[in-house]
Amino acid sequence: MSNPNITLILAGIFGLFVRCSSADPRSAAESKPNIVVIYLDDLGYGDMSAYGAKSLKTPHMDRLANEGVRFTNGYASSATCSPSRYALLTGRYPWRNADAKILPGTAPLLIGTDELTLPKMLKEQGYTTAVVGKWHLGLGDGMVDWNQRVSPGPNEIGFDYSYIMAATQDRVPTVYLENGLVEGLDSTDPILVDYGKNFEGEPTGKDNPELLRIRWHHGHNNSIVNGIPRIGYMKGGERAKWVDEDMADRFLEKSKSFIGQHADKPFFLYYALQQPHVPRTPHPRFEGSSGMGPRGDVILEADWCVGELLQTLEKEGLLENTLVIFTSDNGPVLNDGYYDDAVELLGSHKPAGPLRGGKYSLFEAGTRVPFMAYWKGTIAPKVSGALISQIDLLNSLAQLAGSEYRSEDGEELLDVLMGKSDQGRETLVLEATTRTALRHQNWVMIPPYKGPTINQMVNIELGNDGDFQLYDLDSDIGQQRNLASENKAKLQEMVTLFVSIRGDRYLDTEALELK
Ligand code: NG6
Ligand code: CA
Q: What is the pLDDT of residue 31?
A: 83
Chain centroid to Cα 371, Å, comes to 11
510: left (phi over 0), alpha (psi -120 to 50) or beta: alpha
| 428-513 fold | Arylsulfatase, C-terminal domain (3.30.1120)
Q: What is the pLDDT of residue 2?
A: 40
Q: Would the CB of 102 count as within 6 Å of ligand 1?
A: yes
Q: What is the pLDDT of residue 434?
A: 92
Q: In ligand 1, which atom is closest to the CA atom of 82?
A: 19
CA 6 – ligand 2 centroid, Å:
64
Residue 431: strand, helix, or coil = strand
| Cα 376 to Cα 28, 29, 188, 265, distances in angstroms | 21, 20, 50, 18
Cβ pair 323, 35 in contact under 8 A: yes
Residue to substitute in 88, 102, 103 for testing ligand 1 pocket (most ligand atoms within 8 angstroms of CB): 102
Ligand nearest to the CA of 88: 2
Provide the 8-state DSSP code for 392: G
237: left (phi over 0), alpha (psi -120 to 50) or beta: left
Closest-CA residue to 167 (of 115, 256, 232): 232
CA 63 – ligand 2 centroid, Å:
23
Contacts of residue 114, defined as CB under 8 A and 6 or more positions apart, other chains included, come to none
CA–CA separation, 224 and 237 (whole Å): 13
CA 446 – ligand 1 centroid, Å:
23
Cβ pair 52, 46 in contact under 8 A: yes
Q: 3-state secondary structure string, 65-104?
A: HHCCEEECCEECCECCHHHHHHHHHHCCCHHHCCCCCCCC
Contacts of residue 485, defined as CB under 8 A and 6 or more positions apart, other chains included, come to none
DSSP characters for 478-502?
Answer: T-----TTT-HHHHHHHHHHHHHHH
Closest-CA residue to 362 (of 393, 395, 331, 320): 331
Q: What is the pLDDT of residue 78?
A: 98
| Cα 401 to Cα 21, 30, 155, 513, distances in angstroms | 18, 11, 21, 44
Q: Would the CB of 277 count as within 6 Å of ligand 1?
A: yes
Q: What is the pLDDT of residue 506?
A: 59
Q: What is the pLDDT of residue 11?
A: 44
Q: What is the pLDDT of residue 19?
A: 38
Q: Which residues of 192-219 are buried (b: 16+ CB within 10 A; e: fewer)?
A: bbbeeebeeebebbeeeeeebebebbeb
Of all protein residues, whose CA lies closest to atom 6 belonging to ligand 1? Answer: 102
Per-residue pLDDT of the chain (515 residues; tens, 9 = 90+): 344 444 444 444 444 443 334 445 445 566 899 999 999 999 999 999 999 999 999 999 999 999 999 999 999 999 999 999 999 999 999 999 999 999 999 999 999 999 999 999 999 999 999 999 999 999 999 899 999 999 999 999 999 999 999 999 999 999 999 999 999 999 999 999 999 999 999 999 999 999 999 999 999 999 999 999 999 999 999 999 999 999 999 999 999 999 999 999 999 999 999 999 999 999 999 999 999 999 999 999 999 999 999 999 999 999 999 999 999 999 999 999 999 999 999 999 999 999 999 999 999 999 999 999 999 999 999 999 999 999 999 999 999 999 999 999 999 999 999 999 999 999 999 999 999 999 999 999 999 998 899 999 999 999 999 999 999 999 999 999 999 999 999 999 999 999 999 976 654 444 444 43
CA–CA separation, 256 and 315 (whole Å): 11
CA–CA separation, 109 and 95 (whole Å): 16
Q: Would the CB of 278 count as within 6 Å of ligand 1?
A: yes
**Which CATH number applies to 31-191+236-421?**
3.40.720.10
490: exposed, middle or buried (Cβ count in 10 Å: 0-12, 13-18, 19+): middle
387: left (phi over 0), alpha (psi -120 to 50) or beta: beta
* Residue type present at position 94: P
Q: Would the CB of 219 count as within 6 Å of ligand 1?
A: yes
CA–CA separation, 366 and 149 (whole Å): 36
Residue 201: strand, helix, or coil = coil
A 10 A CB-CB count for 24 gives 13
507: exposed, middle or buried (Cβ count in 10 Å: 0-12, 13-18, 19+): exposed
Ligand nearest to the CA of 369: 2
Closest-CA residue to 85 (of 248, 247, 272): 272
In the chain, where the domains are located: 31-191+236-421, 428-513
